């Protein structure tokens, strides 16, 4: 009957796991980069355990249970007027977008090194922009759909969690000081990705594969969208990363704005 319970009841309960630490939130070099990119104090992650079997087809119910769970609600914060405040109204609905997560190496970014975005030294090629005085070919590739560089990556590559993390870091927060070289973006993306996802190795083929299910989530109360922010903004995001074997789920989130300036 345990299987039946998993299939049909699907009522999840959650418990915070404060002992679960993330190296990217402990590592001084990474925190200094977050500060430089105006993301410090606004990007974080928290892990919870849950008590039922998880199947991807139950993602909507899982996410709604998550945002309604008292243990989650008491630990969640949203940003309003630049300050983190508790969720003050019950969640009535959630929007859930499945996010592909299949990459087990950084090879996805190989095209960046041969398409004219970088100089041989690894420095980013600068370019003119109507709005941004300090612009480069990397951000143009990430953001400008009508640019020549945009086609370097197709829709499938851009949908991957690994690519999304990279883009989030490159675009940064409100007062972001952009890098002159590619390396800090690549290395920090790798660090966060390895921290967030779970993998397994096939004992016969020795092939490593991702076992995590990733969901981009947005929660609504009676007044409308409330988490991760009232306003829709590409750089205000929340992902649920589910490890179905450990029955752990990590909430990784960022609220766009001005980051803190002290470690």
pLDDT at 42: 93
136 token code pair: 């480069």
43 token code pair: 């990007």
pLDDT at 156: 96
> How far apart (Å, rounded) are the C-alpha atoms in residues 24 and 26?
6
For the chain, the domains span 42-77+86-101+199-254, 107-196
> How far apart (Å, rounded) are the C-alpha atoms in residues 263 and 260?
8
With b meaning 16 or more CB within 10 Å and e meaning fewer, what string describes 30-39?
bbebbbbbbb
Does the pLDDT of residue 123 top 80, yes or no? Answer: yes
> How far apart (Å, rounded) are the C-alpha atoms in residues 43 and 49?
21
* 15 strand-pairing partners: 49
Instruction: Kindly report, residue by residue over 244-261, the tens digit of the pLDDT.
Output: 999 999 999 999 999 998
Mean pLDDT of all residues in the chain? Answer: 91
- Residue 30 exposure: Cα atoms within 13 Å on the Cβ side: 18
Sign of CA dihedral 18, 23, 27, 33: negative
**3-state secondary structure (DSSP) of residue 138:** helix
Task: Report the C-alpha dihedral over residues 180, 181, 182, 184, rounded to 10 degrees.
Answer: -90
Tell the residue number behind the tokens 């030294």, with chain if given. 121
> How far apart (Å, rounded) are the C-alpha atoms in residues 17 and 86?
19
Whole-model pTM above 0.85?
yes
Between vectors from CA 32 to CA 28 and to CA 35, what angle results, nearest 5°? 140
Structure confidence at residue 5 as a pLDDT band (50, 70, 90): very low
Task: Return contacts of 109-114, CB within 8 angstroms, 24+ apart.
Answer: 109/166, 109/186, 111/152, 111/153, 112/138, 112/141, 112/152, 112/182
| Whether 185 contacts 169, CB under 8 Å | yes
Higher-pLDDT residue of 183, 78: 183
> How far apart (Å, rounded) are the C-alpha atoms in residues 70 and 56?
23
pLDDT at 9: 52
């Amino acid at each position: 009957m345990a299987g039946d319970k998993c299939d049909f009841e699907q009522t999840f309960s959650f418990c915070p796991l404060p002992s679960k630490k993330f190296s990217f939130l402990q590592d001084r070099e990474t925190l200094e980069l977050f500060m430089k990119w105006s993301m410090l104090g606004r990007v974080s992650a928290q892990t919870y355990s849950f008590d039922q079997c998880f199947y991807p087809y139950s993602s909507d119910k899982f996410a709604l249970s998550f945002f309604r769970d008292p243990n989650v609600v008491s630990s969640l914060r949203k940003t309003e007027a630049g300050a983190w405040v508790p969720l003050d109204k019950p969640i009535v609905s959630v929007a859930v977008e499945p996010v592909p997560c299949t990459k087990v190496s950084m090879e996805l970014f190989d095209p960046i090194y041969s398409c004219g975005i970088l100089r041989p030294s690894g420095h980013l090629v600068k370019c003119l922009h109507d709005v941004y005085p300090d612009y480069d070919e990397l951000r143009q590739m990430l953001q400008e759909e009508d640019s020549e560089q945009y086609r370097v990556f197709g829709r499938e590559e851009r949908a991957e969690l690994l690519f999304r993390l990279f883009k989030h870091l490159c675009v940064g927060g409100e007062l972001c000081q952009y890098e002159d070289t590619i390396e800090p973006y690549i290395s920090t993306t790798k660090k966060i990705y390895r921290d967030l996802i779970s993998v397994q190795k096939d004992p016969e083929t020795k092939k490593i594969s991702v076992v995590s299910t990733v969901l981009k989530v947005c929660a609504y109360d009676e007044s409308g969208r409330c988490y991760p922010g009232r306003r829709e903004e590409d750089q205000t995001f929340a992902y649920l990363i589910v490890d179905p074997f450990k029955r752990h789920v990590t909430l990784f989130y960022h609220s766009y704005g001005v980051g803190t300036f002290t470690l």
